[in-house]
Structure 1
Amino acid sequence: MALYSSTLDCISLSHCALATMEKPHYGRTGLLASRLSGLPVAQPRLVTSSSGVVSPSRTLKWYPSLLTVPQQLLDALRREDDGEEDGLESAGHKFSADPTLVTYLRVATIAESLIQRWHRGRSTQSGAPSLKVSSSRAQVAGLYASILKWARGKVNASTHASSSAPLKQGTFFVPAYKLLVMKDEKRVVEYANITRRSVWLLGKEPVVNDVPLEHPSCSGQHAALEMRFVLVDEAPLSQFIEAQTKGASTPHAALPCYTPDSNELRALCEGMWQVLADQQEAAGEDATGVWTVELQLVDLGSTNFTKLNGAVVPAMEPTTVIESDVLEFGCSTRKYVVLRSA
């Protein structure tokens, strides 16, 4: 999978709905140093037709989250974890101590946490969890844009954290997994080093998917395995958001704190930023004590669901997978086992 040549971190602002296939639009946050950024997939993979010809009328159900690790950053982190020299960094410098990455991770965590919670609230209101991402893409884009606008203003108006406190140079651990496909307790195929790529797509459509799912019950674009930054301890941030939005049984766009460009939204973002800053201070200013890199499974709103160790995975909700986890797709009897690479 070739890396898209973009030198800026990108995000899908159109947010493809589960039942709708449309061309994504990628905006730029401007928060991440160019040497760390770039899309996790090649541009033709994002917009393609069944014949393999790039088409503006059809796109993937999967889209990169702000927390999806860009491919060139994943490569650099893996080399750094292995103790290899990397031409992208100066001698003695580690990516975990890069102030632009720390700032970016805070902003990305704030944005994705709020939008994931907003989606959950809408799904509770509708009573249809599997359709939660069918909410207005314009509203979601508005939330993203407002959060990024706040973030750029904060970065421009304040002195960077690195100038007041040196960042500890820890190393992000990148797990090394492979995917073993089993049927009737027999090995069918093995996909090696799956954690060396930012994303693997799984489904029936041969053109866009990396792992073909041939059973009739599987969807054309069924699920994704992607490398993401994940909070080591989500409780403090979740508790803060809950406290700030209490009194509302289900969070949704009508709440002031979810209204684009509102004072309530900016105040919520400021508070979340401080929670993350406190966590990093408690970790000795080491970003690797706040975030980790994990392999996560995302169901793309499949018709017949995705299972992790026998339990159905909620649509469009990233779930961490670890060694010995077993994935199942649709009604297929094949088992997809996550194993540690040798």
Structure 2
Amino acid sequence: MSPRSSERDSRRKLEPDFRPSGLLAAATKTIKKVDGSSTVLKYHEPPEARKPSSGWRLYVFKGEQESDVLHISRQSAYLFGRDRTVVDIPTEHPSCSKQHAVIQFRQVAQRNEWGETKNTVRPFVIDLESTNGTYVNGSEIPTSRYYELKHQDLLKFGESSREYVLMNVDEAGS
């Protein structure tokens, strides 16, 4: 090896390497627990994520009995699952995955009858490749794809008997 090539190699080692390593992304997807262990999040919000301006609620039913009302307009995404250290809304049933699904509010462009576009924030659900699926109005939705939700849609996670009815306060009055 010539002295010039070895000098060039040593200079190259001293130069900073700004290529993406993936270490920062891995660190931001990891939640450290109190006991020292960590959990890697399966989901990150998309750039079009927005906090809704209207009052969305989930009415929780177990059988015919209403058990809870969840106000889901305070943040742009809600993670469902069994892992209480990372989820926003815990699901107790063993058929639910630790990180099962997410309700994500996203800004989308909608056209009115005159062809004008207007940005609006709509709710979507995404199944995080759960073992036993996510259901909207009795039909299983595809995994890893956003599925738009509408006023009065019924959600179920896995084989749980709990049902979640999505309601929009603004649309309920009309």
Post-superposition CA distance 1:280-324 (Å, at most 9, x none): xx63xxxxx243211111111101000011111111111111221
Determine the C-alpha separation between the residues in 2 that align with 1:53 and 1:338.
37
Q: 1:225-304 maps to which residues of 2 (within 5 A)?
A: 225-232=103-110, 283=116, 289-304=117-132
Counterpart secondary structure, 2:25: coil
Determine the C-alpha separation between the residues in 2 that align with 1:23 and 1:183.
42
Structure 2 residue ranges without an equivalent (≥5): 1-20
CA contact (8 A) 1:51 1:207 kept: no
CA contact (8 A) 1:47 1:54 kept: no
Query: Which of residues 80, 86, 97 in structure 2 aligns to 1:208?
Result: 86
Question: Would you tell me which structure has more helix in proportion to its own residues?
Answer: 1
Q: 1:52 to 1:317 in 2, by over 3 A?
A: farther
- Structure 2 residue 174 is matched with structure 1 residue 328: no
CA contact (8 A) 1:23 1:59 kept: no
- Point out the structure with max Rg over C-alpha: 2
Q: 1:196 to 1:184 in 2, by over 3 A?
A: same
Determine the C-alpha separation between the residues in 2 that align with 1:63 and 1:198.
11
Q: CA deviation at 1:25?
A: 5.4
Question: Would you tell me which structure has more strand in proportion to its own residues?
Answer: 2
Tell me the residue number matched to 2:66. Answer: 187
Counterpart secondary structure, 1:63: coil
CA contact (8 A) 1:52 1:207 kept: no
Counterpart secondary structure, 2:73: helix
Letter in 1 for 2:25: P
Query: Which of residues 44, 49, 63 in structure 2 aligns to 1:68?
Result: 49
Q: 1:40-119 maps to which residues of 2 (within 5 A)?
A: 46-51=29-34, 55=38, 58-69=39-50, 74=51
Determine the C-alpha separation between the residues in 1 that align with 2:64 and 2:46.
35
Q: CA deviation at 1:47?
A: 2.0
Determine the C-alpha separation between the residues in 2 that align with 1:64 and 1:52.
27
Query: Which of residues 306, 315, 330 in structure 1 aligns to 2:134?
Result: 306
Determine the C-alpha separation between the residues in 2 that align with 1:49 and 1:209.
14
Letter in 1 for 2:65: K
CA contact (8 A) 1:175 1:294 kept: no
Post-superposition CA distance 1:140-162 (Å, at most 9, x none): xxxxxxxxxxxxxxxxxxxxxxx
Q: 1:129-144 maps to which residues of 2 (within 5 A)?
A: none
Tell me the residue number matched to 2:7. Answer: none
How much is the aligned-residue C-alpha RMSD, in angstroms?
2.7
Q: 1:54 to 1:341 in 2, by over 3 A?
A: farther
Q: 1:158-197 maps to which residues of 2 (within 5 A)?
A: 174-192=53-71, 194-197=72-75
Determine the C-alpha separation between the residues in 1 that align with 2:73 and 2:86.
19
Counterpart secondary structure, 2:103: strand
Q: CA deviation at 1:53?
A: 5.4
Percent identical residues? 31
- Structure 2 residue 50 is matched with structure 1 residue 222: no
Q: 1:291 to 1:60 in 2, by over 3 A?
A: same
